[in-house]
């Protein structure tokens, strides 16, 4: 399951509540596009902004709307007890896999993080992805810690933050990681702008933000890479440069939120306060970028 | 109220629940020592690890145990709606003031943060402290943003992360800040090791971690500074160097948690998982440091 394109949908918020209809619309597009998996309640899904009941409900809606596409649910929280509760809710909702980031308020040690994964995986019934996202968790994994956690039961994949820009360096990095991790354990790249390089370097999966809102271009890149046509994967990714630039300037979440609105999937304002949407001038830039990549909005 | 020593107590956790008896013991010591205010549910009070009902209960207990000492309650949360709910609970519990940090998962802009404070202060009945703690919030305030927020209703003080080590630079910095902030608006230093320098430089308050567990040495420093004896304040602070070194190595929270146990106030394990306590070797170092500063444990 943790291979190919894993698409991470937005959880639209309207009037400070989950916009359930809009969320179902977003997920149904991913099902219809036949992405390989759906990663609900990731960073793009605003998991840290939702209450436990909201998260449980979003997990249910995601599984329902995803049809045959397996759904991975983010279960991260500051406290181990809350992570375990989220894992129970997600499994009850029918999650095929779970995604766990070591989110921190107080700085965590490697031993804290290892114990977190050890405690949480003790009682799981589905596989789990290590979610390494230092930009939001403020925790930096070592490769040794990946390897210790990968040996725990149910741990099956890692979402890495990106790969070196240079392709030989990227390949060496992924080969080195694979050597340290168990057989069959998959490595998924994130940081959409480096996904084509990551897939070409031997990543098994792309945990994708853009795939959650524009699944087709992301699938095209993934399928090209999977058939060994790395040139085509890179060229397709290069065509999306206007989006990668907007992601770098504004953060991927706020840009995807604008795209969701421009596609008619959500209300204009769809992020949880205090996260403000981007202003009208940026909306126009996003619209122009979408036109340049052939998306009609 | 936002002057002198504001002491920030630990919220002890036992078996993943708030250890209410231990918390009351910790707060009662601060009341008995006559600190100027008590800052419950700050970073040292693990506010981000507790549910809304747990936070409401801790606020009630703090106000009850504090007697005549005014209690400031931390209300920070990722979502504006949750901050507003926490503010309501804290005011209902009898908080004399509130403390708000712009905690972030997604990186916040200055405009997001301004709107957060504007939305929250709209309906307060008690004064509020801006809590600037970039090490845990991952948001960096500009002085201009302090000034914009300070003009909002009810905003009365700022907890700054520290001051320059050199005393002339510290004085210039605090004078410069005071010039940009409204009359009567107070500036409180945090970062305990730089508190004596900060008070000597013109800070009106010390928002103190060590004051939450060893109120007397912190009061001695504060009173010396308040009477203009900055030499004595610095010398008293220098005597606590063994503690400042432990804070720098392990983070103040984990060290204070050990002190709380060594003082017989809490169970040996008193932090929320996944935050592990420090190991036995460090306990012994903390005990030795306490002996060196004349605290018998």
B contact test, residue of A10, A11, A106 with most B CBs within 10 A: A106
Phi, psi angles (nearest 5°) of residue B129: -105, 130
pLDDT per position as a tens digit, A58-74:
999 999 999 999 999 99
pLDDT per position as a tens digit, B41-76:
999 999 999 999 999 999 999 999 999 999 999 999
pLDDT per position as a tens digit, A85-103:
999 999 999 999 999 999 9
Mean pLDDT of A271-281: 96
Both tokens assigned to B30 = 């601060």
Tell me, what's the pLDDT at A206?
Answer: 98
The class level of CATH for B4-227 reads: alpha beta
A contact test, residue of B275, B278, B282 with most A CBs within 10 A: B275
Tracing tokens 């009365």 back to the chain, one arrives at: B156
Distance to chain B for A223, nearest Cα, Å:
30
| DSSP secondary structure code for residue A265 in this structure | S
Tell me, what's the pLDDT at B141?
Answer: 98
**Cα distance between residue B193 and residue B199, in whole Å:** 11
Tell me, what's the pLDDT at A283?
Answer: 96
Please identify which of the residues A47, A146, A159, A207 carries the catalytic annotation.
Answer: A159
Tell me, what's the pLDDT at B3?
Answer: 98
Contact A106 B81 (CB under 8 A): no
Q: Are B33 and B57 in contact (CB under 8 A)?
A: no
Q: Is the pLDDT of residue A10 over 90?
A: yes
Contact B112 A48 (CB under 8 A): no
Over the range B178-193, which residues count as b (16 or more CB within 10 Å of their CB) and which as e?
Answer: beebeeebbbbbbbbb
Contact B274 A116 (CB under 8 A): yes
Distance to chain B for A264, nearest Cα, Å:
24
Please identify which of the residues A117, A131, A146, A207 carries the catalytic annotation.
Answer: A131
Per DSSP (E only), the strands in A114-216 are 128-131, 155-160, 186-189, 205-208
Q: Out of B48, B108, B276, name the one closest to residue A112 (CB).
A: B276
Q: Are B2 and B205 in contact (CB under 8 A)?
A: yes
**Cα distance between residue A255 and residue A138, in whole Å:** 22
Tracing tokens 């830039």 back to the chain, one arrives at: A285
How many CB atoms are located within 10 Å of the residue B245 CB? 14
Percentage of residues in chain A having pLDDT higher than 90: 98
Q: Out of A49, A79, A109, name the one closest to residue B273 (CB).
A: A79
Residues of A in contact with B113 (CB under 8 A): 274
Tell me, what's the pLDDT at B1?
Answer: 87
Percentage of residues in chain A having pLDDT higher than 70: 100
Contact A112 B253 (CB under 8 A): no
Do the annotations mark residue A44 as ligand-binding? yes
pLDDT per position as a tens digit, B97-127:
999 999 999 999 999 999 999 999 998 999 9
Phi, psi angles (nearest 5°) of residue B157: -160, 165
| Chain A: residue whose CA lies nearest to B16 | A81
How many CB atoms are located within 10 Å of the residue B266 CB? 24
Q: Is the pLDDT of residue A274 over 90?
A: yes
Q: Where are the domains of chain B?
A: 4-227
Contact A272 B43 (CB under 8 A): no
Both tokens assigned to B42 = 């700050």
ipTM of the complex: 0.96
Contacts of residue B256, defined as CB under 8 A and 6 or more positions apart, other chains included, come to B10, B44, B209, B210, B212, B213
Average pLDDT of chain A to the nearest whole number: 97
Q: Are B7 and B211 in contact (CB under 8 A)?
A: yes
User: Model confidence at A1, in pLDDT bands (50, 70, 90)?
Assistant: confident
Mean pLDDT by 10 residues, chain B (297 residues): 97 97 98 98 98 98 98 98 98 98 97 98 97 94 98 98 95 98 97 97 98 98 97 97 96 98 97 96 96 91
A228 burial (CB, 10 Å; 0-12 / 13-18 / 19+) is: exposed
Mean pLDDT of A220-238: 97
Interface of A with B (CB under 8 A): 16, 43, 46, 48-49, 78-81, 102-103, 105-109, 111-113, 115-116, 119, 135-136, 138, 251, 253, 272-276
């Amino acid at each position: 399951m943790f291979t190919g394109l894993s698409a991470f949908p937005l959880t639209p918020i309207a009037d400070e509540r989950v916009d359930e209809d809009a969320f179902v619309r977003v997920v149904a597009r991913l099902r219809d596009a036949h992405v390989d998996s759906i990663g609900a309640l990731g960073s793009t899904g605003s998991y840290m902004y939702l209450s436990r009941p909201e998260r449980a409900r979003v997990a249910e809606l995601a599984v329902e709307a995803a049809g045959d596409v397996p759904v991975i649910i983010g279960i991260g929280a500051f406290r181990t007890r809350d992570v375990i509760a989220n894992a129970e809710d997600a499994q009850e909702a029918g999650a095929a896999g779970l995604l766990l980031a070591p989110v921190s308020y107080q700085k965590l040690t490697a031993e804290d993080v290892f114990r977190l994964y050890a405690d949480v995986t003790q009682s799981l019934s589905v596989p789990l992805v290590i979610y390494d996202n230092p930009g939001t968790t403020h925790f930096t994994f070592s490769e040794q810690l990946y390897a210790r956690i990968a040996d725990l039961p149910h741990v099956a994949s890692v979402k890495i933050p990106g790969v070196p820009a240079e392709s030989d360096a990227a390949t060496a990095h992924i080969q080195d990681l694979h050597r340290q991790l168990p057989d069959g354990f998959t490595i998924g790249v994130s940081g959409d702008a480096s996904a084509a390089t990551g897939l070409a370097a031997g990543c098994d999966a792309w945990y994708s933000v853009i795939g959650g809102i524009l699944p087709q271009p992301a699938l095209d890149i993934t399928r090209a890479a999977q058939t060994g046509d790395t040139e085509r994967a890179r060229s397709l990714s290069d065509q999306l440069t206007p989006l990668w630039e907007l992601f770098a300037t504004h953060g991927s979440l706020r840009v995807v939120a604008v795209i969701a609105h421009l596609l008619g999937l959500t209300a204009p304002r769809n992020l949880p306060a205090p996260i403000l949407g981007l202003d009208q001038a940026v909306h126009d830039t996003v619209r122009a970028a979408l036109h340049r990549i052939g998306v009609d909005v």
